[in-house]
Amino acid sequence: MEKYRVLINPSALKELDSIPKRDLKPIVERMRNLSEIPRPPGCEELSGEDRYRVRQGPYRIVYSIDDKSHEVLVVKVGHRREVYR
């Protein structure tokens, strides 16, 4: 299976800056894993959008997948109570 390229939206990069350092490493590792398995067990497709989300502790990573160009675009990263707003 071909690996996907993981791209991060500039607004998602800003959101990563606000996450405490102790929580950042597992989130970055989870995003890296999306390059190998873009639809891992436990991911959910968001209703009404062509986006998916995965959990990492109390944080959520929201992303879209382009199967034709083999790219994953991370659009939002944040705490579960804030990410869907």
Q: Which of 58, 11, 53, 1 is nearest to 31 (CA)?
A: 53
| Half-sphere exposure at residue 58, Cβ-oriented, CA atoms within 13 angstroms | 7
Question: Which residue ranges make up each domain of the chain?
Answer: 5-79
Residue-wise pLDDT tens digits, 51-75: 999 999 999 999 999 999 999 999 9
Q: What is the pTM of this model?
A: 0.93
DSSP E strand boundaries for the chain: 5-8, 44-45, 52-56, 59-66, 71-79
Is residue 80 over pLDDT 80? yes
CATH code, 5-79: 3.30.2310.20
Residue-wise pLDDT tens digits, 4-63: 999 999 999 999 999 999 999 999 999 999 999 999 999 999 988 889 999 999 999 999
